[in-house]
């Protein structure tokens, strides 16, 4: 497959042979409707002499038979395209699992909003057929890496496609955070927490907390305070190459989440360092895909 232009713009890939020889299918395990859609797509691909592998948990929960079963962490070694059937949560899971592999993702929406999974059940087969012929739009989405340090020692690391969130724990009181960007002290804030969002994540938690919408091709990270004590603490954007350091000053009760999943509990003095990963996630869309049309539909703009 051809490489993406350095500016990350949408482009079309046209070639005579099949653009993808092996396709992995990843389905949302909690939705019973997924089973039939996985089987329909698997048979469609097999009829076009495309090798099909199905993610292991999808096979187990939906009783998919007749196709190779592959663990999620091995899909990057067995497929050159992954089709995700579910919602944005399933797409985020797949993106994190395949972060070290150059496997593009395409999403079929079976969730509620589907900002990342833009194919419908009705358009799925036609869109995939065009993609097999090399007719698609391609873009890259940046990822964030987060590391937790305690007493000057790294305790844990992880990455996120949507956001890294520092939030209060079970105690109903504000937490005190100190924010440093590229080694320069910015401020201390008392709030319910702080969201560090990629452009992709600006349609998720950051939007609900009052953050701005960023076009996915922008090279930026948005910092959105959650219910700040001082109303002048407003969301702001920084260059995506910046390094952000958050130190928990008080109390000894806070959490860090990556894409909505609990990553670690924080203690007073802990530092969370967030910065852009060198790798990105590649998404495929049908030809003519428009980010603005998607926002118009999902957010019910006039």
- Residues 6+ away with beta carbon under 8 Å from 203: 113, 115, 213, 295, 298
Catalytic residue among 80, 88, 176, 259: 88
**Is 118 known to be catalytic?**
no
**Nearest-5° Cα angle at 179, 174 to 184:** 160
Catalytic residues: 88
């Amino acid at each position: 497959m051809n490489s993406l232009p350095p500016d990350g713009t949408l482009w079309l890939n046209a070639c005579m042979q099949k653009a993808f020889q092996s396709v992995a299918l990843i389905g949302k395990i909690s939705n019973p409707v997924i089973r039939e859609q996985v089987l329909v797509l698997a048979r469609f691909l097999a009829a076009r002499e495309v090798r099909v592998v199905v993610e292991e948990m999808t096979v187990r929960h939906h009783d998919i038979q007749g196709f190779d079963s592959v663990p999620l962490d091995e899909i990057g070694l067995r497929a050159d395209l992954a089709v995700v059937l579910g919602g944005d949560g399933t797409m985020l899971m797949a993106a994190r699992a395949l972060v070290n592999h150059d496997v593009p993702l395409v999403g079929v929406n079976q969730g509620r909003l589907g900002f990342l999974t833009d194919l419908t059940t009705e358009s799925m087969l036609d869109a995939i057929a065009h993609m097999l012929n090399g007719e698609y739009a391609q873009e890259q989405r940046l990822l964030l890496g987060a590391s937790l340090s305690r007493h000057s020692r790294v305790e844990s690391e992880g990455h996120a496609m949507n956001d890294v969130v520092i939030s209060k724990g079970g105690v109903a009181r504000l937490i005190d955070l100190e924010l440093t960007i590229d080694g320069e002290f910015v401020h201390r804030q008392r709030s319910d927490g702080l969201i560090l969002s990629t452009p992709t994540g600006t349609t998720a938690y950051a939007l609900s907390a009052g953050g701005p919408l960023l076009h996915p091709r922008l090279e930026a990270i948005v910092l959105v305070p959650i219910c700040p004590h001082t109303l002048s603490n407003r969301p702001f954007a920084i260059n995506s190459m910046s390094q952000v350091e958050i130190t928990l000053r008080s109390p000894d009760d806070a959490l860090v989440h990556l894409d909505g999943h609990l990553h670690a509990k924080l203690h007073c003095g802990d530092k969370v360092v967030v910065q852009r990963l060198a790798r990105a996630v590649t998404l495929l869309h049908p030809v003519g895909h428009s980010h603005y049309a998607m926002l118009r539909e999902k957010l019910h703009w006039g």
